[in-house]
Structure 1
Amino acid sequence: MKEKAKSKKKSRIRLLHQYYSYTGFYTFVWNSIKKAIIPIVLFVGALWAIDRYLLDIEDMLVTITETYAPLEVLSIFFLSESLLGLVPPELFIAWAGKSSSPILFLTLLATASYLGGIVSYWLGVSITKIPAVHKAMELKMAKHIKNTRKWGGFLIIVGALLPIPFAMTSIAAGIIRFPFSSYLIFGLLRFARFYLYALVIFEMV
């Protein structure tokens, strides 16, 4: 019985592997990683250049932490993460690194991003109830929606971990009515992304 169960499990894994191979999921992930490397390198290079030739990044971040209340910064970030990820999270991670409690504020940023994704998910659900808007978004996000239908949870994982707008993935998940409970679980990887990026950014600033 155990051998049969193992055999069925292996067969299922093999079938999933074949499906994701045939539908181009692995190629999509690899291309996303390659595209993600460029913004990271540019961001690191820009920080280095600004710090060396224009102004002291550390002093600037300290000034921001002294000028603006943490709630104001977190609110701006939450709005950004709820509306298509307009501001790079890396800037806010750098801010957290110069705050009075880096780990605490990093966790609050990750939480704001996670909650912003949930807002985006329900925004996607709401869009489906307005025919004209739904049709327009279906056209504008056709590729993203198509991929979400094909790969579901795995695409949400990619969106949570890689430096691509998590809000877009979340909206697409809402539009296709991806199971909300599963979305909440996969979206938790957003925390991993912030902690991993902080390992590099905290050292730089």
Structure 2
Amino acid sequence: MRDKAKSKKKSRIRLLHQYYSYTGFYSFVWNSLKKAVLPILLFVGALWAIDHFFLDIEKMLVTVTETYAPFEVLSIFFISESLLGLIPPELFIAWAGKSSKPFLFLTLLATGSYLGGVVSYWIGVSITKIPAVHEALEVKMAKHIKNTRKWGGFLIIVGALLPIPFAMTSIAAGIIRFPFLSYLTFGLLRYARFYLYALVIFEMV
């Protein structure tokens, strides 16, 4: 019985592997990783250059933390993450690194990003009820929607972990009515992204 169960599990894994290979999922992830590396390196390099040649980033971030209330910064970030990720999360992670409670605010940022994705998901669900908006987004986000239909949860995992606009992936998930509880589960990896990025950014600032 155990051997049969193991055999079925291996067969399922093999079939999934073949499916993702055939549909180009691995190529998509690899290309996304390659695209992600350059912006990350540029951001880290820009931080180093600005800090050494133009202004004291540490002092600037401390000034921001002293000038603006955490609620204001977190609110701006939440709005950004709910609307297509307009501002790079790395800037806010750097801000958290210079706050009075770095890991608390980092966790609040991760939570804001996660909840912003939930808002985006329901935006995706809602716009399907507005024909004109739905048609416009079907064209503008055709690739995201097509990929989400093909790969579902795996694309949400990639969107949560990599520098791919998580809001766009979430809107696409809402448009295709991807199971909400599954979306919430996969989206939790958003926390891993913030903590991993913080390991580098906190050292830089």
TM range (shorter): over 0.9
Counterpart residue number, 1:70? 70
Distance 1:26 1:183 in 2: 20
Instruction: Give the TM-score of the pair, scaled to structure 2.
Output: 0.99
Counterpart residue number, 2:151? 151
CA RMSD of aligned residues (A): 0.4
One-letter amino acid matched to 2:23 = T
Matches within 5 A, 1:28-43: 28-43=28-43
Q: Secondary structure at 2:87's aligned position in 1?
A: coil
Counterpart residue number, 1:26? 26
Q: Quote how far apart the aligned CAs of 1:53 are.
A: 1.2
Runs of 4+ in 1 over 4 A off after TM superposition: none
Instruction: Give the TM-score of the pair, scaled to structure 1.
Output: 0.99
Q: How many residues align?
A: 205
Q: Quote how far apart the aligned CAs of 1:59 are.
A: 0.2
Matches within 5 A, 1:36-55: 36-55=36-55
Distance 1:86 1:49 in 2: 24
Matches within 5 A, 1:80-119: 80-119=80-119
Distance 2:83 2:170 in 1: 10
Structure 2 unaligned regions, length at least 5: none
Distance 1:52 1:7 in 2: 58
One-letter amino acid matched to 1:24 = G
Verify: 1:163 aligned to 2:159, yes or no.
Answer: no
Counterpart residue number, 1:177? 177
One-letter amino acid matched to 1:41 = L
Q: Quote how far apart the aligned CAs of 1:164 are.
A: 1.4
CA shift digits 1:156-179 (9 cap, x unpaired) = 000000011100000000000000
